[in-house]
Structures are given as structure tokens and as C-alpha cells.
């Protein structure tokens, strides 16, 4: 068994019948086998208890994977679903901070870890809760990392959930592989990308990675899409601004004198093109929203701060498409084999 970074309460007495002839080593082995068996049973139960398990991946870091993972979780939860969020980024866990719950502690009772509770009742598990100083990078040896992930999967008391969202470190690392090998019944992968043309390349990489994991691709989300600006002018006026790349963009004012337009800061449409080219569903785009950065810093998520804002509504649209791809609507997922 892999080393364990999370020590259980001593209350967890493994009740292996005493054998007077067993050596201490044999007894330790029996206890270990018993614990493994218990974990296997819990994982089997977890597969039944958690309806949908969704991994969030991207080809590279900084594209907003954790932002999308938390947004999906909150958007599902505010629809009334019971949702869990598993932060597998054990070297740089930032989900608790994004949700304003980094001061929470995980409770361990009878060998089971109880998740912290975020906004809208989202159950969160993250290594950030267990590190003395989550800002200090930790270098995990392979087997310890494996052990931590296995504990996150097998020893967490999630209870019954409609959906479990799993966030990963950047890139195609071994964490998604460990999860896909240890967690049965994964519905699929949501791929996060940016609007630039390189998005196609990155998404292609993520899709072939999903293929090596033998999990379906639920679709592509384009993050940091256009930036919306608004203003007022005389009703009926046309307003022109010089957009990115020096290209003029015009908008007409409404009857009340307001206008709005979307600036494609990083171009746009890369995600939709990538999805089309790669034959997977396009789940939608999220606007470039400085409020997301603020929310990440002050711990009030955009969906909580502005429940009816453009970003919150964009997440709701993406969630609708994810549910449809999962067969909760009329669509069906694309299985890559």
C-alpha cells in the first residue's frame, strides 16, 4: 500500500481477530489488508452514491481550470443539486481560497474524512485543509502522492451526491491517471481552453489524454472569452470604440441610452472551433471577467457575489449543456475509444 500522509484517529481500531500465533508483522499485514478491503468497499458504495463524476482538465495551466471547476460545482449546487468538489491539485491547492473556506478544517472520524462545506452546501476536499501553510509548495514523493489521492477517493465521507467535480493540477500529469484508475464510473472530462488559436492544439492534447485515461469527453469550455463593456450616450446614437488590434467596433444605444459591446481581448471562438474540429460538444464560453480574479483573491466567488451576473449566467448555460451531454437532457456524450 502507498504511504499515507493523512493519519487517522487512533479511534479507528481495526478489528482483526487475534491470532495468538501471528507475529507483529503478520498482524500488521492483516490490518493493512483489512483497511484496503474497507476502502474498496467504500469506493464501491461511492460509485453507487455519487450519480455523476466529472473531471476538469486542460492542456496547460492558468487557463481557468480551477475557476471552471468551482463554477460548475456552484452552478450545479444552486440548481438544488448536492455537489462535491475534489481538489486534486495537491502541490498548489487553491479551491478552498476561491470559495472563502480556507480556514476550514477537515474532520476525521472512524477513519473517514468529512469534507468542508462551501457556498450553496458544496462539499469540498482539498490538501489545502491539511497543509500547515498552503502557500508553501510541497514536493510529494510519488507513492505519498498516490496515497493521498487514494485517501481522497476512498476515505472521504461524501454521502449521496448528484455530482462530484474533480479539479487537477495543470497539464497532463499522473494525477488524472491515478483518479481514473481508482475511481469507478467516471462520466467524463470537461476540457477548459482559451480563445486563442493555440486552443486547438491544447484541446487536442487534452482529448488524446482523456483517450489514454479511457474516459469520455463531455465537451470543451472556452474561458476568458470576450470582455463586455457598457456605457451611456444619447438614445439612438451609434458608439464606436477602437477594439483590440486597432479594429473599430460599433454599437447602437438602446432607447434608454445604454450600449454594450464585447471586446475579444484574446480573439474568440478558439474553443468552439477546437470542439468542432475534434468532434466533441462545445459547452459554452465564459467572459473575461476581472471580478473572477477579485473573487479568487477575496474568497467571494463570482457566482456568490453576483448571482445574476453575466459570469454566473454563463456558468448556468454551461451546466445545462453538461447535463444534456450526461444524458440528463436530450444529448449524449461522445465516447472516445
Ligand X SMILES: Nc1ncnc2c1ncn2[C@@H]1O[C@H](COP(=O)(O)OP(=O)(O)O)[C@@H](O)[C@H]1O
Q: Report the residue number, 35 or 223, with the smaller CB distance to ligand X.
A: 223
**Residue 117's binding partner, choosing from Mg ion, ligand X, none, with beta-carbon cut-off 5 to 8 A by kind?**
none
**C-beta closer to ligand X: residue 5 or 309:** 309
- DSSP SS3 for 85: strand
Closer of 81 and 88 to ligand X (Cβ): 88
Minimal distance, residue 187 CB to ligand X, in Å: 20
Phi and psi torsions of 121, nearest 5° = 75, 15
Of Mg ion, ligand X, none, which one does residue 62 interact with (CB within 5 to 8 Å by kind)?
A: ligand X
Question: Does 178 engage in binding with Mg ion (CB under 5 A)?
Answer: no
Shortest distance, position 271 Cβ to ligand X, whole Å: 12
- Give the residue ranges of DSSP H helices in 214-269: none
Least CB distance from residue 307 to Mg ion, whole Å? 23
The number of residues in the chain equals 337
Relative to beta strand 248-252, strand 161-167 is unpaired
Of the candidate spans 65-73, 126-134, 179-187, 225-233, the one that interacts with Mg ion by CB under 5 A turns out to be 65-73
Closest CA to 218 of 325, 316, 314, 317: 325
The partner residues of 252 in beta bridges, in order of sequence, read 238
75 lies in the site for Mg ion, by CB under 5 A: no
What cell does 285 get? 464560453
State the minimum distance, in angstroms, from the CB of residue 94 to Mg ion. 6
Binding stretches for ligand X (CB under 6 A) = 58, 61-67, 94, 170, 223-224, 286, 288-289, 292-293, 296
Torsion of CA 270, 276, 279, 282, to 10 degrees: 70
DSSP characters over 306-323: -TTSHHHHHHHHHHHHHH
Whichever of 58 and 206 has its CB closer to ligand X, that residue is 58
Minimum distance of Mg ion from residue 61's CB (angstroms): 7
Min dist. Cβ of residue 287 to ligand X (A): 6
Q: Which of 123, 120, 59, 130 is nearest to 93 (CA)?
A: 130
CB 284 within 8 A of CB 317: yes
Among 52, 59, 63, 66, binds Mg ion (CB under 5 A): 66
Burial code (b: 16+ CB inside 10 Å, e: under 16) for 263-286 equals bbebebbbbbbbbeebebbbbbbb
Q: How many residues bind Mg ion (CB under 5 A)?
A: 2
| Residues that bind Mg ion in the complex, under the rule CB under 5 A | 65-66
Amino acid at each position: 500500500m502507498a504511504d499515507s500522509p493523512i493519519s487517522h484517529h487512533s479511534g479507528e481500531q481495526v478489528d482483526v481477530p487475534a491470532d495468538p500465533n501471528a507475529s507483529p508483522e503478520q498482524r500488521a499485514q492483516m490490518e493493512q489488508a483489512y483497511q484496503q478491503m474497507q476502502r474498496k468497499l467504500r469506493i464501491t458504495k461511492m460509485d453507487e452514491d455519487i450519480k455523476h463524476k466529472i473531471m476538469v482538465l486542460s492542456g496547460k495551466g492558468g487557463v481557468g481550470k480551477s475557476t471552471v471547476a468551482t463554477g460548475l460545482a456552484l452552478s450545479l449546487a444552486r440548481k438544488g443539486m448536492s455537489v462535491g468538489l475534489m481538489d486534486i491539485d495537491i502541490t498548489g491547492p487553491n479551491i478552498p481560497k476561491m470559495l472563502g473556506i480556507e480556514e476550514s478544517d477537515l474532520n476525521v472520524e472512524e477513519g473517514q474524512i468529512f469534507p468542508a462545506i462551501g457556498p450553496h452546501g458544496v462539499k469540498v476536499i482539498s490538501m489545502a485543509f491539511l497543509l500547515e501553510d498552503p502557500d508553501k509548495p510541497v514536493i510529494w514523493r510519488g507513492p505519498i502522492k498516490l496515497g493521498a489521492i487514494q485517501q481522497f477517493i476512498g476515505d472521504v465521507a461524501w454521502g449521496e451526491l448528484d455530482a462530484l467535480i474533480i479539479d487537477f493540477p495543470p497539464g497532463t500529469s499522473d494525477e488524472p491517471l491515478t483518479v481514473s484508475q481508482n475511481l469507478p464510473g467516471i462520466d467524463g472530462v470537461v476540457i477548459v481552453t482559451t480563445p486563442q488559436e493555440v486552443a486547438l492544439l491544447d484541446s487536442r492534447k487534452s482529448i488524446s489524454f482523456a483517450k489514454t485515461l479511457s474516459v469520455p469527453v463531455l465537451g470543451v469550455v472556452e474561458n476568458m472569452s470576450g470582455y463586455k463593456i457598457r456605457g451611456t450616450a444619447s438614445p439612438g446614437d451609434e458608439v464606436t470604440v477602437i477594439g483590440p488590434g486597432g479594429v473599430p467596433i460599433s454599437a447602437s444605444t438602446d432607447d434608454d441610452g445604454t450600449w454594450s459591446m464585447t471586446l475579444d481581448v484574446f480573439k474568440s471562438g478558439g474553443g468552439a472551433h477546437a470542439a468542432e474540429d475534434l468532434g466533441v460538444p462545445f459547452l459554452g464560453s465564459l467572459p473575461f471577467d476581472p471580478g473572477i480574479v477579485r473573487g479568487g483573491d477575496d474568497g467571494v466567488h463570482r457566482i456568490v457575489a453576483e448571482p445574476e451576473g453575466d459570469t454566473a449566467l454563463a456558468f448556468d448555460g454551461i451546466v445545462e449543456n453538461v447535463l444534456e451531454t450526461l444524458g440528463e437532457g436530450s444529448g449524449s456524450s461522445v465516447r472516445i475509444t
